[in-house]
Chain A
Amino acid sequence: MPQIVTANSLIEGDVVFRTADGGWVRDIDAAGVLADKAAAEAAHAAALQDVKAAKVVDVALIDVTAEAGKVVPVKLRERIRAFGPTVKSDHRADLKPFTA
């Protein structure tokens, strides 16, 4: 199964995803999708260097599906991390609940 590398940015705390060129972005569709184990291990090892460099924390490899440019995590927990809480609330117009 394809994987991507995710983390939280150190300073903001935001959920971020590692791109193919080693950057960190909030948009999961821009994540570098890792087709095999070797690619995943290499990306994970590189991401750990960014932990040392105080850029990100809590690095993890997660399983995803990647079709037609849409990257979707397999686990609900990771979908919630990627797309935000599923709760609806009047208090947060900026957060659009998604259907889990």
Chain B
Amino acid sequence: MYRYDEFDAAFVHERVAQFSDQVVRRVAGDMTEEEFRPHRLMNGLYLQLHAYMLRVAIPYGTLSSRQLRKLGRIARVYDKGFGHFTTRQNIQYNWPALKDIPAILGELAEVEMHAIQTSGNCIRNVTADHFAGAARDEVADPRPYAEILRQWSSIHPEFSFLPRKFKIAVTGAAHDRAAIRVHDIGLEVRRNEAGEIGFRVLVGGGQGRTPMLAREVNAFVPEKDLLAYIDAIMRVYNLYGRRDNKYKARIKILVHETGLDELKRQIEAEFEAIKDGVLTLPADEVERIEAYFAPPVFPERPAASASFEAARAADREFDRFARVNLHPHKTPGYTSLTISLKPIGGIPGDASADQMDVVADLAERYAFDEIRVSHEQNLVFPHVALDDVHAVWSVLKEHGLATANAGLVTDIIACPGLDYCALANARSIPVASRISERLGDPDRQEAIGPLSIKISGCINACGHHHVGHIGILGVDKKGVEVYQLTLGGSPDETAAIGEIVGPGFDSDQIVDAVETVVDTYLKLRSSPDETFLAAYRRVGEAPFKEALYGA
């Protein structure tokens, strides 16, 4: 895991001191809210409906036990005993007081964490595949490159006041679990025919009110040119991205308005001017960073575990967890394990302070001290011996963390919505809870198979509804919550923006509507192996439309 060097540590401590002083001046009335707001936002502090909200960065979603325990402690001491994991692999606290923020930031700095660049028109937390470094299908661990990008982009003077916020995601596998096609820049680590590492570079994806999929601007940028190439893209965006209209300021609009060919020409021209200069990545520096992400030493184990198989045979509930929540690991005898933060009827992404402690303890004992946050708002142990899965599951179960629904219909992404968010028009979480209760029967969920529901409470689409197999967008129609249904979205390498299927549903109807879509799929699928998305792509929206609205 990456450890702060002296520069990182000194910088974060200086920033805590600066912001602490700003809070003192604000509370004393020496700064107005207008003067203070940019400072608090630069430190991840928002003012929401009920209270302040602090968004803490979790770079590429990777945490140690020590860090997760600290996040739990902050929830317990300064908040109402829980935190909320987000689709940007961050954590948000919903109830901190302004007067406590300096202390919280000080505690975060103790474990090499902060809230810098979690807001504002800068390069935000760089996200990555939550199975990075573990997944069997991976070309290379994407996190060293995410870390290099983090170091380069942190308080970058040229890119701290971009036309709009900027999000980068990196995957190390062709199967995209990081949703790179809906990011401003998406990177896929690849090897060329000579076996050298490089990056496929996609630009201009995003959700919000104008959803677009990223387009390829380069099929293979060599490793050494990563920063120079990204810098070239940022320069083009910084120069030509629109600053006249907030809703047209993201790079996706620039790609759309400029045209891909012309944009590529501009990027290449910038790149030619700066390549082989100071931004060239020295191989030894890449190796130095990679060393922080070296996989743990895995004691050799047989590919199959007799105790694991025996436990599965003895306990149907554990067997189901093993079927649903494990992911193939590159090392024989090991697995990656998803800890669902989607209890049936619960709040997607919430974890209590006690649960964070439990997960931290388990990680230390069984999972090589490593935890990941997924953009699907779950936690992951990337490395667990098959022999230990039953012991881990037993403890998770005691603490309400063993819901066997990873990738199933109740593994719902939902934004905080009108229950918390100052921007929202409709509630998201209660809709997620009711859908989860309706479809939560374990046998039924497994029979339905892989199906993602994603819910946003406004057009900003923090709940990723555009790329949900079933997407739900809450809107306000004359003071009443109305929910629009989209079908056929997907965030992976076959990415697609969902299509609005018809008129929206009111709050009392939306759960029935989702169930109608699910039941329609079950009736028309060609076999139990045909997933919802495959079936939708085969038959289109017509049968769903008919089931929802009549002929």
Could you list which residues of chain A lie within 8 angstroms of chain B, going by C-beta atoms? 8, 10-15, 51-54, 57-58, 74-77, 80-81, 84-92, 94-95, 100
Contacts and interface: CB of A to CB of B under 8 A. Distances in A.
A87 B419 contact: yes
Contacts of B433: 87-88
Interface string B426-455: 010110010000000000000000000000
Give the residue among B28, B49, B433 with the most A Cβ atoms within 10 A: B49
Given A54-B27, A94-B80, A13 B97 contact: yes
Contacts of A89: 82, 346-347, 350
Given A87-B429, A87-B433, A90-B400, A76 B418 contact: yes
Contacts of A77: 49, 418
Give the residue among B351, B400, B418 with the most A Cβ atoms within 10 A: B418
Contact of B347 (A51, A57, A74, A87): A87
A95 B29 CA distance: 31
Contacts of B52: 13
B420 interface: yes
B419 A91 contact: no
A80 B418 contact: yes
Give the residue among B27, B50, B352 with the most A Cβ atoms within 10 A: B50
Contacts of B28: 54
A-B interface, 7 closest residue pairs, ranked by CB to CB distance from nearest: A54-B29, A85-B419, A13-B51, A91-B82, A13-B52, A91-B352, A87-B429
Nearest to A56: B33
Contacts, number: 84
12 contacts: A11-B98, A53-B29, A54-B27, A76-B418, A84-B50, A85-B420, A86-B419, A89-B82, A90-B346, A90-B400, A91-B82, A92-B81
B49 A10 contact: no
B419 to A, nearest CB: 4
A95 B80 contact: yes
Given A75-B479, A77-B418, A89-B346, A15 B26 contact: no
Interface string B14-46: 000000000000111100110000000000000
Contact of A11 (B32, B81, B97, B427): B97
B350 A12 contact: no
Given A86-B419, A89-B346, A76 B479 contact: yes
A11 B29 CA distance: 11
A53 B47 CA distance: 18
B73 to A, nearest CB: 15
Contacts of B419: 80, 85-87
Contacts of A58: 47
A92 B98 contact: no
Interface string B47-68: 1011110000000000000000
Contacts of A52: 29, 32
B481 interface: yes
Give the residue among A13, A58, A89, A95 with the most B Cβ atoms within 10 A: A13
B427 A86 contact: yes
A52 B31 CA distance: 10
B209 interface: no
A8 B51 contact: yes
Contacts of B346: 89-90
B96 interface: yes
Contacts of A100: 427
Interface string B316-347: 00000000000000000000000000000111
B156 interface: no
